[in-house]
Chain A
Amino acid sequence: MLHVLDKKLLRDLLRIWAQSLAVAMVMACGVATIILAVGASRSLEETRSAFYDRYRFGSVFASVVRAPDHLESRIKAIPGVSAAELRVVEPVILDITGMAEPASGLLVSVPDNRQAEVNRLYIRTGRLPSANQGNEVAVIETFANAHGFRPGDRFNVIMNGRKRALTIVGIVLSPEFIYAIGPGDMVPDPKRFGVFYMSESVLSSVFDMENSFNDLSLSTLRGSDTRAIMESVDALLDNYGAAGAYDRPDQISNAFLDSELNQLAAMAKIIPPIFLLVSAFLVNMILSRLVALEREHVGLFKALGYSNFAIGAHYAKLVILIALVGLVIGSGAGWWLGRGLTRLYANFFSFPFLIFTKSLDLYAIAGSVAVVSSLAGAAKSIWSISNLPPAIAMRPPAPEIYRSFFGRRLRWASWVSQLTIMSLRQLIRRPVRSGLTTLGTSMSVALLVTALFSFDSIDYMIDVIFFQSDRQDASLTFASDTSSSAIFDVAALPGVIRTEPFRATQVKLRNEHREVKMSLLALSAGSQLSRILDEDLKPMEPPPNGLVISELVAAKLKLRPGDMVEIELTSKGRRIDYAPVVGIAQSYVGLTAYASLPFLNSLMRDGSKISGARIAIDQNALGDLYANVKNTPAIAGIALQDISRQKFRDTIEENIITMTTVYVSLAVIITFGVIYNSARIQLSERARELASLRVFGFTTAEVSKVLLIELSVIVLAAQPLGWLLGYLFSLSVVKGFSSDLFRIPFVINAPTFAWASLVVLSSALASALIVRRRVDRLNLIRVLKTRE
């Protein structure tokens, strides 16, 4: 048998269902975003760690020019190393039928007749290549899917100067290439970049690497000191052209996953609290009105003998019920969106399986947070009504006191109508509520600015990277550093209009105890295709003596122009040199330092060499150039700027469209929740006043003005506040995004603010108009016959 008070509760809830649902929806957004962000990040994390564990993803990695296999026993003897895999890894250019531009790939050796100890492959279909068949290859799944390849299909690869037709025998996934990104690309393009596995003996013989290796992956024992292991590895490999050992945080695929997980964590920190705060405020608003309306009933209940606690519990239950509705809707939405997001990740990141974590605790946490935040919003009303003495409760509340704006002397100019004054005085009389309503509405604006600004930032980034800094059409990388005269061969390729040589080498830069690993890029004087940009994006010449370092490197090493920096040349046996910092450059991708070609060559002490060239291409001769590149053994890689940019833009745009849809929905829900409730409560509080106005002969349009002016002031005041909050949220997003791999410039253009406001203003208008219709239905006679 239902308690009488509980029956009242259910009927109350039915009566105010629209308002309760609006609040529950806002709460649901909070719950859904918690479940989405935390749930997806847990799933991603679990999936990754299961893949890593089962397929023995390495912990320390190193590459060398060429080192003898007999080092294996000494490598395995390094304390903390549990397994080592010595491999041959070679960048190659592919020639795929039906695809004009050359694709690039990485050939990786797999041990003959045994499973790899480190970085094992997950075989989706087929098998691993055998040692006896020289043309067998297993290809990474993303590449196979992009080209529709099945086992048995063939494609051509330029291996050490010779074109070879390889036959696919298996389709595989590797923990090493969950995120497989090609040279010069900013997002994966599986059509133009693939990873290919061939038998070790075959690869060794093709690349003249018998009894040698050029790549090393190590597993380490739990709790071992990877830093010490890396140092031992570097010491062992010093004399073999080592590029320096690195661990998981610097492994590119792993680092991208880390940065995605960081973004989810940042989302979980910023977005759910916004919704929970707004819903707490809405609960506060609704309950305080309900309690005001039911004041006399409460007096009666108390007179009948109900305890203060029973009254408090009655209203607390109402709030908890609303929170539970929010929890149910939010959980459903969060679960559904979370699965969607994890699937999206599965497309972007290449996993053999997906683990959806069943996080019951997460639902419990989200539920408690929703209930607690709504009870916090209700606390004041519940407290005051529970403690109101019955005799006072049964009397109507004291009349409301209003104030003149500027004292009584000042009369309002005739242009301000009394209706406007009514609205404005109401706003001023409840400054806290007006302020919070404004703040709530501004949250939607802020949320939209935060969602939309990335468009501006990415546009700006594309402009800086592709149109101001790296303006070449393509970048060719040689198989190894070559005499600088090779630039003439490049210039002689068909369609090449301009060439600019570059040399790149791995270095560690140090200042006192601070150290960063990076690539040092040397450019020739007067480079026009590839330019160094200073912090104001003005082009700088490569310095004849010394280094220009990127902003982030300067910050990490605490270096300023004029300081000396220690340079460790990784591939030169870790030889140490020093150079002055002569400038700071702007760079959004990776950690970078620049030098002039002669300066780097003087540091390297190996003659005048280059690693590749940036080229401008005559678009009409593109076909000839591609054909030539595919047949030039010295060219190990080609990065095509136009295609990279297009792919980057497409990927980002797709993400932004999804994200914008989600955020616009969220913002509309907040705006609707705040404005609808605010208007309903105003209407309830002022029904009598408004009905009186109708009696005096004001039209419904004029009467609605009183409501609409008040809402307009709130919504308009919310705009600049929302812009400011959006600016701050966006700034924190930019900071959260920032990693060594990738930084987003902080740019918000005026149209972004305008769009955010437009969405919020339209949804505010829509919700106000829904309430406005109720003005037409005001019962004039009833309100006039009753005392409030």
Chain B
Amino acid sequence: MESDPTKKKAIFRISNLSKIYRTGEVSVRALNDVTLDMTEGDMTVLLGPSGSGKSTFLNIVGGLDRATSGQVFFKDRELTACTERQLTKYRRDHVGFVFQFYNLIPSLTARENVHLVTEIAKNPMSAEDALELVGLQNRADHFPAQLSGGEQQRVAIARAIAKQPEVLLCDEPTGALDSKTGVLVLEALARVNESLGTTTALITHNAGIQNIAHRVISFIDGRISDDHRNETRIAPSEVVW
């Protein structure tokens, strides 16, 4: 179960990353000189209080936001030097996203939400396989409004992994869910990481979740306050909520 970082390559190389938000006369330093590498195939949990910079970090790594200074490399490509068009292509080809509020398209069924991504992906798995991986093969033709919160989030995961991305970025995927449903979602994420080897980064407020990860990075005030690898990992069902 444990992966050895020494044998695997870094998928992200991040150096001196800073992000300053300016609104009117106020400027907020959301990220402050962050430097780290992320290893291929790792499941990393990003911990930290609100405003600590973890979401900003995830957004920049995911190509949704731009850094103020510093560099981010995805493999050999410098994301911080990419144009808007190149970032779109990067997201399309390499990244899967899962969000707190699912962001499903209400006018598409579960299967169609997955198709949305498989239609434009280079090497997708079938929508049915993706839904099976999250245990929703029987709910494929339901619209989001007909699914529970946990089911919706699992559809979102199926949609994110269906293109077989190299990176899966999850921003508070269990934040809107109760513990029982949250476990199902974490199990789905762990299964994907395990079986497809997808590098996964997961933001959470819930410190209990950190023990399912290979690596845990904590943020405070835009800086990394702690970065360690778990000696032993627990199964999602063992997470104390």
Chain A minimum-CB-distance residue to B87: A697
Are A689 and B64 within 8 A (Cβ)?
Answer: no
Are A697 and B119 within 8 A (Cβ)?
Answer: no
Contact of B108 among A422, A697, A699 (CB under 8 A): A422
User: Chain B residues with Cβ under 8 A from A426's Cβ?
Assistant: 107
CA distance A695 to B117 in the complex (A): 11
CB distance from B163 to the nearest CB of A (A): 8
Contact of B91 among A422, A689, A696 (CB under 8 A): A696
**Interface residues, chain A, with chain B CB atoms under 8 Å away:** 399-402, 404, 408, 412, 417-419, 421-422, 425-426, 429, 688-689, 692-700, 702, 780-781, 784-788
Chain B minimum-CB-distance residue to A407: B141
Are B64 and A780 within 8 A (Cβ)?
Answer: yes
Are B64 and A399 within 8 A (Cβ)?
Answer: no
Which of under 10, 10 to 19, 20 to 34, or 35 or more describes the interface residues of B? 35 or more
User: Which one of B71-79, B98-106, B130-138, B227-235 contacts A?
Assistant: B98-106
* B92 on interface, CB distance cutoff 8 Å: yes
Chain A minimum-CB-distance residue to B56: A781
Are A418 and B92 within 8 A (Cβ)?
Answer: no
CB distance from B145 to the nearest CB of A (A): 4
User: Chain A residues with Cβ under 8 A from B159's Cβ?
Assistant: 696
A399-B145, A404-B109, A422-B107 known; A697+B64 contact, CB < 8 A: no
A401-B145, A697-B92, A780-B64 known; A425+B55 contact, CB < 8 A: no
User: Chain B residues with Cβ under 8 A from A780's Cβ?
Assistant: 64-65
Main secondary structure of the interface of B (DSSP, over half): mixed
* B97 on interface, CB distance cutoff 8 Å: yes
Contact of A695 among B64, B113, B144 (CB under 8 A): B64
Are B88 and A699 within 8 A (Cβ)?
Answer: yes
Are A785 and B55 within 8 A (Cβ)?
Answer: yes
Are B99 and A401 within 8 A (Cβ)?
Answer: no
Chain B minimum-CB-distance residue to A696: B117
* B54 on interface, CB distance cutoff 8 Å: no
Are A697 and B107 within 8 A (Cβ)?
Answer: no
Most buried by B among A417, A694, A699, A784: A784
* B154 on interface, CB distance cutoff 8 Å: no
* B171 on interface, CB distance cutoff 8 Å: yes
User: Chain B residues with Cβ under 8 A from A419's Cβ?
Assistant: 116
Subset of 20 A-B contacts with CB under 8 Å: A399-B145, A400-B145, A401-B143, A408-B109, A425-B107, A426-B107, A689-B105, A692-B103, A695-B97, A695-B103, A696-B97, A696-B116, A696-B117, A697-B89, A697-B92, A698-B92, A780-B65, A784-B99, A784-B171, A785-B100
Are A692 and B105 within 8 A (Cβ)?
Answer: yes
Are B65 and A781 within 8 A (Cβ)?
Answer: yes
Are A699 and B109 within 8 A (Cβ)?
Answer: no
CA distance A399 to B145 in the complex (A): 6
Are B92 and A421 within 8 A (Cβ)?
Answer: no
For residues 83 through 128 of chain B, which have their beta carbon under 8 Å from a beta carbon of chain A?
85, 88-93, 95, 97, 99-101, 103, 105-109, 112-113, 115-117, 119-120
CB distance from B176 to the nearest CB of A (A): 8
User: Chain A residues with Cβ under 8 A from B62's Cβ?
Assistant: 695
User: Chain B residues with Cβ under 8 A from A693's Cβ?
Assistant: 105, 116
* B206 on interface, CB distance cutoff 8 Å: no
CB distance from A189 to the nearest CB of B (A): 64
Are B91 and A421 within 8 A (Cβ)?
Answer: no
Are B145 and A421 within 8 A (Cβ)?
Answer: no
User: Chain A residues with Cβ under 8 A from B93's Cβ?
Assistant: 697
Are A425 and B120 within 8 A (Cβ)?
Answer: no
CB distance from A688 to the nearest CB of B (A): 7
A402-B145, A426-B107, A780-B64 known; A696+B92 contact, CB < 8 A: yes
